[in-house]
Amino acid sequence: MIGRRIVFYIPGYDPRGARHYHQVYAAEAAKQASINGLAIAVAPLETVDNIEQRWRVSTTGTETDYRYLAYDDLIRRRWSKGPLSALAIICRSFFPLLARGVTWKVAKLSWPFAVTMVLPMAVVLAAVTVSIAAGLIVWTLSGFPAGLAAMLAVFVLLLALRHLLEKRWNFLWLASVFAFVADQGEGAADIEARIDRFALRIAAAPAADEILVIGHSTGAQIAVAALARALRQPGTARLSFLTLGSIIPALGLQPTATAFRAELAAVAADPKVDWIDFTAAIDGVCFPLTDPVAACGLSQPDPARPSPKLLSARFPKLFSRASYAALRRDRKRAHFQYLLATDLPGDYDYFPITAGDRSLAQRYAHLETVRDFNQFRLARR
């Protein structure tokens, strides 16, 4: 049984930082207590340094040291600072991945994810199309100068309304995610340096009954790289590894991501790593039940016992019909739901995973990896 656990949590692409995630964890754990019966005491947030904050989590018989590994400063450095900056981010998220052939390869694995990738550019093209159409109509009625003025006025109006469009489509957030993935694929120096620091923290973790590394969304691929580098350090302990809503193939399919593919293969092959990957079919910002190793063109070291174990969060079983319908309509909420409370009990529950008395592997030993999920594939590999 797990008496002492250390969690290293690496978030997705989110500039809000540790304070936000600490508040979310405390509030959602309290909500989930009525579902799973697990009373969790969450201590105040403590700052270790500029890349690590932590808080203690206590349940009967189990103490968890929850360590948040931060890179939100790198995110804020890349965040949109105005309409021209937003346009640049969208172009940077679309054209490099398109030119590298990633978009088509992604579409063959999961067409909803491909739609998500092209959505930001589609919004821009739609704005340009509407502006040109307005200009042509006014030109026909009032001449070229008036038409040009109308086209520019409509485009400027749409730029001014981008915040309202963002609430509905999350297109700028999505563009920022994929621009970051493109940067990581190119080996951006600041990302690589931060991964090196994360690796040293994981490798230097003190003795515990379980050391659990968690990567959510873009944090999953950062966690893979950090874990691979940590495993190169002498004396690294056995590790549990949980990825949630991961987008690993979006990075691993880039031709320039040779080093990352080697790190992915190393983590999958290491017998000291118990890796489970949870995804959900309604999460349009992940690759549902897709083996990230095979998706990146790599071979499983042991096909009979593939790593990671692929499991579905099965959100339809965790919510009432009305709540699930609302969740499906909210793209961003669906992508963060792995970290939040549910309406009903089920196999997937973030809070016993991070605070309960069983290890990750023990908790899901009764479930087999999901194979041959092809619902969203345009072509079989």
Report DSSP letters for 328-380, one per residue.
HH-HHHHHHGGGS--SS--S--HHHHHHSSS-HHHHTTTSPPP----TT-SS-
Q: What angle do CA 180, 175, 250 make, to 5 degrees?
A: 55
pLDDT at position 161 = 75
AA letter at 139: W
What does the DSSP 8-state code read for residue 273? E
Q: Cis omega before residue 352 (within 30°)?
A: no
Residue pLDDT, tens place only, 49-79: 999 999 999 999 999 999 999 999 999 999 8
Residue 379 predicted with pLDDT over 50: yes
pLDDT at position 155 = 84
Pairing mode, strands 46-49 and 52-59: antiparallel
Please state, in angstroms and as integers, the Cα–Cα distance from residue 214 to each residue in 39, 66, 184, 245, 295, following that order.
22, 10, 19, 11, 21
Mean pLDDT calculated for residue range 141-154: 90
Tokens linked to 182:
């493109």
Task: Using DSSP, state whether 204 is helix, strand or coil.
Answer: coil
Q: Contact 333/245 with Cβ under 8 angstroms? A: no
pLDDT at position 381 = 45
Model confidence at 228, in pLDDT bands (50, 70, 90)? very high
Q: What angle do CA 71, 75, 77 make, to 5 degrees?
A: 115
Pick the closest to residue 118 from 94, 101, 102 (CA basis).
Answer: 94
Q: Contact 168/161 with Cβ under 8 angstroms? A: no
pLDDT at position 84 = 79
Mean pLDDT of the chain: 93
Residue 68 φ then ψ, to 5°: -95, 115
Q: Contact 76/256 with Cβ under 8 angstroms? A: no
Q: Of 157 and 23, which is predicted with more confidence? A: 23
Strands, E, within the chain: which ranges?
A: 4-10, 41-42, 46-49, 52-59, 62-69, 210-216, 239-244, 273-279, 309-312
Query: Percent of the chain having pLDDT more than 70?
Result: 99
Residue pLDDT, tens place only, 178-188: 999 999 999 99
Residue pLDDT, tens place only, 322-378: 999 999 999 899 999 999 999 999 999 999 999 999 999 999 999 999 988 888 888
pTM of the model: 0.94
Structural domains in the chain?
A: 4-74+186-363 (3.40.50), 82-169 (no CATH)
Q: Of 141 and 349, which is predicted with more confidence? A: 349
